[in-house]
């Protein structure tokens, strides 16, 4: 992680959008926006979230909205009908089961519908600025490409890596590997020629590289 960090700083690579928003978004915004973002591009997610937050800036207002109205506001995010039902149910449950406050523990967040490990850890790290290890597809792919693990899903990667990852890197690991994956260690034809980890990388499933 240290070498990746130094490399990204040298190349002046900007932090991922989520990391830039740490401390600037309340947990409600992070939770709802993350759910809307699943299998949806940022260019669609951000405007949809803004439309929704204008009408439902908090849990009480979201819980009182009709599902059809939520659908209209968040369209065309992927699976918008399912997501509309999910976020309304989340609002209702947080109000009744958590006193109207988004839970700030992994266990509490995972008890909510539609919230998996990635979403829960993102809410913890970005919304609450707490410790968490968020594993998305970039983190999962890169760690497997390096050959340090052999897993089949981001959740499996989380359960293997989280217990052994040094505490100081848990929050930073996602931001570093997402930026590294977006700009250099890409899914197809990664830029291996400039990678500082090339001598130690097994390049698992890399057929072509630059």
Within the chain, all domains assigned CATH 1.10.1670.10 are found at 2-14+134-200
| Per-residue model confidence (pLDDT) at position 22 | 61
Q: Are 82 and 35 in contact (CB under 8 A)?
A: no
Look up residue 205 and give its two tokens.
């499933």
| Per-residue model confidence (pLDDT) at position 121 | 96
Fold of 2-14+134-200: Endonuclease Iii, domain 2 (1.10.1670)
Residue 124 is given by DSSP the state I
- Per-residue pLDDT tens digits of the chain, which is 210 residues long: 999 999 999 999 987 666 656 667 899 999 999 999 988 888 899 899 999 999 999 999 999 999 999 999 999 999 999 999 999 999 999 999 999 999 999 999 999 999 999 999 999 999 999 999 999 999 999 999 999 999 999 999 999 999 999 999 998 999 899 899 989 999 999 999 999 999 999 999 898 899
| Per-residue model confidence (pLDDT) at position 21 | 62
- HSE-CB for 160 with a 13 A CA cutoff: 14
Within the chain, all domains assigned CATH 1.10.340.30 are found at 23-127
Query: What are the respective helix, strand and coil percentages of the chain, to the nearest 5?
Result: 60, 0, 40
Q: Which CATH superfamily is domain 23-127 in?
A: Hypothetical protein; domain 2 (1.10.340.30)
| Per-residue model confidence (pLDDT) at position 163 | 96
| Per-residue model confidence (pLDDT) at position 24 | 73
| Per-residue model confidence (pLDDT) at position 43 | 86
């Amino acid at each position: 992680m240290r070498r990746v960090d130094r490399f990204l700083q040298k190349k002046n690579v900007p932090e991922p959008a989520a990391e830039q928003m740490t401390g600037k978004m309340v947990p409600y915004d992070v939770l709802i926006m993350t759910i809307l973002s699943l299998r949806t591009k940022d260019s669609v997610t951000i405007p949809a979230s803004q439309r929704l937050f204008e009408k439902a800036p908090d849990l009480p207002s979201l819980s009182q909205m009709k599902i059809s109205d939520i659908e209209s506001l968040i369209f065309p995010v992927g699976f918008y009908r399912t997501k509309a039902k999910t976020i309304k149910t989340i609002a209702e449950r947080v109000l009744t089961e958590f006193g109207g406050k988004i839970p700030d523990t992994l266990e509490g967040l995972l008890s909510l519908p539609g919230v998996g490990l990635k979403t829960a850890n993102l809410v913890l790290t970005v919304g609450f600025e707490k410790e968490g290890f968020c594993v998305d597809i970039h983190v999962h792919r890169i760690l497997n490409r390096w050959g340090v693990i052999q897993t089949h899903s981001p959740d499996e990667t989380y359960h293997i890596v989280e217990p052994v990852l040094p505490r100081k890197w848990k929050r930073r690991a996602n931001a570093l590997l997402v930026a590294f994956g977006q700009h250099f260690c890409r899914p197809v034809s990664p830029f291996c020629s400039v990678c500082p980890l090339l001598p130690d990388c097994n390049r698992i499933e890399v057929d072509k590289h630059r």
